[in-house]
Structure 1
Amino acid sequence: MSTLGPIALDATLWDEPTTGIGLYTRCLADALEAQGVVLDRMGARMSGEHPRGVQKRTAWTLGTLPKVLRESPPPVYHALGNFNLPLRRVPGTAYVLTVHDLVPLDLPDTVSTPYRWQFRLWLARSLTTADRLVCISERTREDLLRRFPQVEPRTVVVPNGVDHVTVPELDAEGEDFLRALTLPKDYVLYAGSLDVRKNVDLVLDAQERLAAQGKPFTLVLAGQGWFGSGKVETRIARLRSEGLDIRALGYQPPSTFYALMRRAALFVFPSRYEGFGLPPLEAMRLGTPTVVSTAGSLPEVCGAAAPAVDPDDAEGLAAVIHRLLGSPGERRALSESGLHQAAKFTWARTAELTRAAYDAALRHRR
């Protein structure tokens, strides 16, 4: 790699373990360092070389970060949060931005109004200052170019990895927690936040349909509430009061989360849109048969290794769940194909392609 000094890496979500971008930040950093790249982690709450302390992320990025960069300009600054480059260029520093998705623009009702406007305005500015734009899927790249075709020459696709997921080792407390749940052998798992975009309602629709047909199953939900999740949380409470077996566990630490995922008979993820869709790929990595929707990047990432249903097709999802729960042989075949598909996505490859983006940004610095 042609850079002459440490890469300045946006670490503003480093200490936020519940976020997908926080996971992306840490996995990318580990993979880059394994390939000999020296990093300066900038803006984490407590970690890294330039922690922000009590400052809010936005205030630090707009106010403090430019001063830090000017004091000792790095060859590259890489922002990881969709839109969060400094508003002005720092002489001598190339800017790289990772775009995960355009959810606030394409699905505006799934985020708050203040965040939607922050995203819209800040992204527009960042696109004028970025030397390279890293999109995590072809779908995200297509969405970006549909709105901003002028950035096409500066845009590359760098998929995420999934080999951060290993067979979980639970401590005694974790084992006790899972044992206390008294889950049946063949439960269905959804993992992710409960916001509208994730389409948890479709899983609940499918469960209601099957229960009405005398074909009940246990549904486990692992994930925290998010913007707009109140309606689905109210529905979950009502369905439980009516006798459906729904275990809403909230956020779980990684070891427990992956243990739940590995032990599930089936993982379902019918999201209405994903820029990448890491949870189903994580399930595949653990050998868990997976069902996704036909929306967003999910068909691109999961390929033929996961049956896909329309995000509005509750009957179709119910049929797939019932068929797979009754067919261990088909589940084994999906497990094998899922393992093969997940093996294609490594953080080492993500780091290699990201390094190439850094080199290109340096060569074509504007």
Structure 2
Amino acid sequence: MSTGPIAFDASLWDEPTTGIGLYTRCLASALEAQGLSLERFGARTSGEFPRGALGRSGYVMARLPVDLRGSSARLYHALGNFNLPLTRLPGKAYVLTVHDLLPLTMPETVSAAFRWQFRLWLTRSLMLADRVVCVSASTRKALVARFPETAGRAEVVHNGVDHVVAEPLDKTGEALMHTLALPRDFVLYAGSLDVRKNVGLVLDALERLRARGRQVSLVLAGQSWFGSGPVELRVERMRAKGFDIRPLGYQSAPVFYELMRRAAVFVFPSRGEGFGLPPLEAMHLGTPAIVSNAGSLPEVCADAAPSVGPEDAEGLAALLERLLDSPAERRYWSEKGRRRAAEFTWKRAAEQTLTVYEAALRGLDAVRDRAPRARPR
């Protein structure tokens, strides 16, 4: 069926790239490659309906409904977990992507204000959504457990990972890599430093390895986030004691992926993920990844990455030591990781998302067809 133009949530389009922002851009590009026409709503300055000086929430509540009424698009896709308009617009179908329910399942990892916003707005959005896209079966299971009424409307559409390209570095990136003077076999963690990501387990493992006479170099590529203070303080204390830990903060995509490509091992012991893109990105680049067995990570990484429990510092230390000592084992996990990552493409995500759009529009048409028609006079 012809969907016509799609009204597409672009609220993170002009912002620094986050996980949802990356999802937005990659999915948009893949949908357009399928021949869909997208109208971008709510970007700061770009797209057909920019929000200007309004904040993202203010735009959705105040002006998005007006902009949607002025569009010929029959379907609006909100991409940010809970950010559908608060009211139903006649003649418009709604699709919502839910990445995770972590503010509800792990409330200590977000602020109280955000937790309340998330719960209330998500509840309202799920009442209005014709279809819900969940980025993993793990997310869908958590969603249906808390909102059983969504069971018949929620579909799993995995993210892709083929956006990852090891691009040549510019002069600034080359200078940074030269300044870092990274050892040949370093361990990389990439992501935010909040409590949910469980970076403390990596630090525990490093302390155990040092107690056995093994110094491991750790690079941290990720920004501060809610609750990251204790990890940052601990890193500084360990550095003062001679641990080789290099916190780099947020990095541009070329540097980020170059670090992944050069790392001997990528480590990601998160306590909970809706999807878990960073380890899959590392696997795509051929870097063996060690992950936790929590959340969606077993689903996404399957048997292509060794795993440990999120409390198992000794197990993580043993895995790190084993992989760092064995180039052959690293090659084994590298090959398995590449094969697994090749299964996740944005083309496939776009095809499955298009199927969700078509189902939502069929439902919209069915409601229209059932509506009583005025009798001719």
What TM-score, normalized by structure 2, do the two folds share?
A: 0.96
Query: What amino acid maps onto 2:141 in structure 1?
Result: E
1:92 aligns with 2:91: yes
CA distance, structure 1, for counterparts of residue 236 and residue 159 of structure 2: 35
Aligned to 2:372: none
Residues 45-82 of structure 1: CA deviation (Å, up to 9, x unaligned): 11111111111000000000001111235211000000
Aligned to 1:188: 187
Count of matched residue pairs: 365
Q: Is the CA contact 1:73–1:90 (under 8 Å) kept in the aligned structure 2? A: no
Aligned to 2:73: 74
CA distance, structure 2, for counterparts of residue 320 and residue 53 of structure 1: 49
Q: Is the CA contact 1:31–1:348 (under 8 Å) kept in the aligned structure 2? A: yes
Aligned to 1:280: 279
Aligned to 1:330: 329
Q: After superposing the two structures, state which structure 1 stretch, 65-74 or 159-168, moved more.
A: 65-74
Query: What amino acid maps onto 1:305 in structure 2?
Result: A
CA distance, structure 1, for counterparts of residue 110 and residue 253 of structure 2: 26
Q: Is the CA contact 2:13–2:21 (under 8 Å) kept in the aligned structure 1? A: yes
Aligned to 1:361: 360
Runs of 4+ in 1 over 3 A off after TM superposition: none
Q: After superposing the two structures, state which structure 1 stretch, 168-177 or 35-44, moved more.
A: 168-177
Q: Measure how far apart 1:322 and its partner are.
A: 0.3
Query: What amino acid maps onto 1:6 in structure 2?
Result: P
- RMSD (Å), alpha carbons: 0.8
Aligned to 1:309: 308
Specify the SS of the correspondent of 1:153: coil
Aligned to 1:65: 64
Aligned to 2:178: 179
Query: What amino acid maps onto 2:228 in structure 1?
Result: S
Query: What amino acid maps onto 1:255 in structure 2?
Result: P
Extract unaligned runs of 5+ from structure 2: 368-377
Q: Measure how far apart 1:17 and its partner are.
A: 2.8
Query: What amino acid maps onto 1:2 in structure 2?
Result: S
Specify the SS of the correspondent of 2:65: helix
CA distance, structure 1, for counterparts of residue 77 and residue 10 of structure 2: 9
CA distance, structure 2, for counterparts of residue 325 and residue 18 of structure 1: 31
Q: Measure how far apart 1:18 and its partner are.
A: 3.0
1:263 aligns with 2:262: yes
CA distance, structure 2, for counterparts of residue 90 and residue 2 of structure 1: 21
CA distance, structure 2, for counterparts of residue 180 and residue 224 of structure 1: 20
Residues 319-357 of structure 1: CA deviation (Å, up to 9, x unaligned): 000000000000001000000000000000000000000
Q: Is the CA contact 2:5–2:72 (under 8 Å) kept in the aligned structure 1? A: no
CA distance, structure 1, for counterparts of residue 272 and residue 31 of structure 2: 29
1:133 aligns with 2:132: yes
Residues 1-39 of structure 1: CA deviation (Å, up to 9, x unaligned): 421x31000000111233100000000000000110000
Specify the SS of the correspondent of 2:162: coil
CA distance, structure 1, for counterparts of residue 171 and residue 230 of structure 2: 35
Which structure is larger by alpha-carbon Rg, 1 or 2? Answer: 2
Aligned to 1:26: 25
1:296 aligns with 2:302: no
Query: What amino acid maps onto 1:149 in structure 2?
Result: P
Specify the SS of the correspondent of 2:188: strand
Specify the SS of the correspondent of 1:186: coil
1:10 aligns with 2:9: yes
Specify the SS of the correspondent of 1:97: strand
1:83 aligns with 2:82: yes
CA distance, structure 2, for counterparts of residue 311 and residue 41 of structure 1: 39
Q: Is the CA contact 1:73–1:93 (under 8 Å) kept in the aligned structure 2? A: no
CA distance, structure 1, for counterparts of residue 108 and residue 166 of structure 2: 37
Aligned to 2:40: 41
Specify the SS of the correspondent of 2:286: coil
What TM-score, normalized by structure 1, do the two folds share?
A: 0.99
CA distance, structure 2, for counterparts of residue 254 and residue 279 of structure 1: 12
CA distance, structure 2, for counterparts of residue 47 and residue 178 of structure 1: 33
Residues 179-210 of structure 1: CA deviation (Å, up to 9, x unaligned): 11011000000000000000000000000110
Q: Is the CA contact 1:73–1:92 (under 8 Å) kept in the aligned structure 2? A: no
Extract unaligned runs of 5+ from structure 1: none
Query: What amino acid maps onto 1:337 in structure 2?
Result: K
Query: What amino acid maps onto 2:138 in structure 1?
Result: R
Residues 251-283 of structure 1: CA deviation (Å, up to 9, x unaligned): 000000000000000000000000000000000
Specify the SS of the correspondent of 1:305: coil
Specify the SS of the correspondent of 1:304: coil
Aligned to 2:218: 219
Q: Is the CA contact 1:73–1:91 (under 8 Å) kept in the aligned structure 2? A: no
CA distance, structure 2, for counterparts of residue 7 and residue 77 of structure 1: 6
Q: Measure how far apart 1:230 and its partner are.
A: 0.5
Q: Is the CA contact 1:17–1:23 (under 8 Å) kept in the aligned structure 2? A: no
Q: Is the CA contact 1:74–1:92 (under 8 Å) kept in the aligned structure 2? A: no
What aligned pairs does 1:198-209 form with structure 2 within 5 A after superposition? 198-209=197-208
1:103 aligns with 2:136: no
Q: Measure how far apart 1:105 and its partner are.
A: 0.3
Aligned to 1:168: 167
1:320 aligns with 2:319: yes
CA distance, structure 2, for counterparts of residue 96 and residue 72 of structure 1: 16
CA distance, structure 2, for counterparts of residue 322 and residue 228 of structure 1: 29
Q: Is the CA contact 1:43–1:57 (under 8 Å) kept in the aligned structure 2? A: yes
